[in-house]
Amino acid sequence: MTHQNDNSSVNKVWFITGASRGFGRIWADAALKRGDKVAATARSLASIADLQEKYGANVLTLELDVTKPEQVKTAVEKAHTHFGRLDIVLNNAGYSLVGTIEEASAADVKALYDTNIFGTLAVIQAALPLLRAQGGGHILGTSSGLGHVTMPVIGYYCSSKWAFEAIHESLAAEVKDFGIKVTIIEPGAYATEFGSQDSLKFAARMDIYADFKAQFFGSLKDMERGDPTATPQALFQVVDAANPPLRFNLGSHNLSSVRAAYAQRLAIWEAWQPVSASAQGN
């Protein structure tokens, strides 16, 4: 089947993980409202049952825990069979681990990566043979502005997004010749449920970091957060574009912080270049 993702007038078929709340829910609902079809997945079917009631045959709701590869493969294949194609595969499931580098256990970090990285990979690897067979598609991944800069206390979450970015950048080069496009969506701070207890896990606390963490969380209180319901039209412009970007900042604040971070990195590399060059050996 010839892929028609470049034609914005053609209704698209989406596969979305983490569709129960936050961006996943907002984007699934918005895609359905514009007449697209959506395979919406979540760990609990009850959390997305209202989509089925509201949109009928245009939505397929599937129970999916992305940390279970066989369940992922079954869900992706079921969605593809049900709708006959998948135009957009959107990895949105993820959470943040709160804890300093010393506080978090290896088990905490492994669990984070099982969802944020290995869950994403399971979806991509299940979808790729189907997208190749149909002649193309568009893989989207919800990363973060923290895929380029970091914050203390959520360093492991940041690290998962840095890994997420590298994986998708390599993927984009590998699948380009198959007509498959890749876009990394990089939201800034938004007033979603991402900061809720359901989307955060906490490492064991060490008293030595209590003051530092109190100051850190205090600094976040006045952070301007975007309106997540303002995002769908921007996302649709990306998926409807003939040549969508590999990276797409969502919101108005990311670019300034990324500019500053890279300027600082370049300045340090430049300052140390004579020493760096001396280590070349020829």
CATH of the domain at 117: 3.40.50.720
**Domain assignment present for 272:** no
Contact by Cβ (8 Å): 125, 237:
no
pLDDT of 192 reads 63
Q: How is residue 91 written in tokens?
A: 């990895």
**Domain assignment present for 252:** yes
pLDDT of 226 reads 86
pTM higher than 0.85: yes
The residues, ordered by sequence, that sit 6+ positions from 207 with a Cβ below 8 Å of its Cβ are: none
Active-site hit among 12, 37, 96, 143: 143
Containing domain of residue 111, as a range?
13-256
pLDDT of 244 reads 98
Active-site hit among 20, 157, 159, 190: 157
pLDDT of 217 reads 87
**Domain assignment present for 274:** no
Tell me, yes or no, if 161 is annotated catalytic: yes
Helices 155-175/120-134 angle, 10° precision: 20
Active-site hit among 156, 161, 181, 190: 161
pLDDT one digit per residue (tens) for the chain, 282 residues: 333 444 555 799 999 999 998 999 999 999 999 999 999 999 999 999 999 999 999 999 999 999 999 999 999 999 999 999 999 999 999 999 999 999 999 999 999 999 999 999 999 999 999 999 999 999 999 999 999 999 999 999 999 999 999 999 999 999 999 999 999 999 988 876 545 455 688 998 999 999 999 999 888 877 778 889 999 999 999 999 999 999 999 988 899 999 999 999 999 999 999 999 999 998
Domain count, the chain: 1
**Domain assignment present for 196:** yes
Q: Can you tell me the distance from the alpha carbon of 133 to that of 136, in angstroms, rounded to the nearest whole number?
A: 8
Contact by Cβ (8 Å): 80, 33:
no
Tell me, yes or no, if 8 is annotated catalytic: no
**Domain assignment present for 273:** no
> Which residue(s) pair with 187 in the sheet?
250
Q: Can you tell me the distance from the alpha carbon of 220 to that of 218, in angstroms, rounded to the nearest whole number?
A: 5
pLDDT of 4 reads 40
pLDDT of 87 reads 98
DSSP class of 180: E
**Domain assignment present for 277:** no
**Domain assignment present for 207:** yes
**Domain assignment present for 174:** yes
| Residue ranges in the chain assigned as alpha helix (H) | 22-33, 49-55, 69-83, 106-113, 120-134, 155-175, 210-220, 232-240, 254-271, 273-278
